[in-house]
Amino acid sequence: MTTALKTTDLATGTWAIDPVHSTVGFAVRHLMVSKVRGTFGSFSGAITVAEDGTPSVSAEIEVASVNTGNEQRDAHLKAADFFDVEQYPTATFRSTSVEAKGDEYVVNGDFTLHGVTKPVSLALEFNGVNPGMGHGEVAGFEASVVLNRRDFGISFDAPLETGGAVVGDKVTITLEIEALKQA
């Protein structure tokens, strides 16, 4: 059973994203019939809870850490056709608000990818707080958002003879986050 986030559930202060116990993933349509999934292996971020209980989120992803399980595809994703990691090495997110939506939340913020910043809204599920295993409290979250890659200037287009494209425009970003309370 999922517990709704209450401002009292997260202690005031900073909760650092634990990259060892977190995942930043994505899925995009391939050849109109299946999906390619991948992850980013290098990322950081924090959730800061103000004295009044208001949370804010900041995160950064090293885009060159993309991994789809295929070296050739990963090299193409890092090139100018897609992420252009030489020119745009990081993607960032900065929240502007967190709103309750039933038992879940919406985290609104500014997402920057490929040099383009757009407002996005992530659906957030709070999984609770645990005392941890001797290293302090941990909190768990799951979040997702569907983005259009073209909105961020990633416009690689390889049309199929039968219609459609090799790579879909809609990309689903999924986050599985465990955050550690900082002393």
Tens of pLDDT along 101-141? 888 899 999 999 999 999 999 999 999 999 888 888 999 99
Q: What percent of the chain has pLDDT over 70?
A: 92
The secondary structure of 69-86 as a DSSP string is: S-HHHHHHHHSTTTT-TT
> Rounded to whole angstroms, how far apart are CA atoms 138 and 128?
8
Q: How confident is the model at residue 1 (pLDDT cuts 50, 70, 90)?
A: very low
Least confident of 47-61, 129-143, 146-160: 146-160
Q: Take residue 78 and report the two structure tokens written for it.
A: 């890092």
pLDDT attached to residue 97 = 94
Q: How confident is the model at residue 164 (pLDDT cuts 50, 70, 90)?
A: low
List beta partners, residue 123: 106, 144
pLDDT attached to residue 66 = 97
pTM for this model (two decimals): 0.89
pLDDT attached to residue 165 = 63
Q: What is the greatest pairwise CA distance in the chain?
A: 58
13-181 to CATH, choices 3.40.190.10, 3.40.640.10, 3.60.15.10, 2.40.128.110 = 2.40.128.110
> Rounded to whole angstroms, how far apart are CA atoms 41 and 62?
8
**Residue 177 exposure: Cα atoms within 13 Å on the Cβ side:** 25
pLDDT attached to residue 25 = 97
pLDDT attached to residue 7 = 45
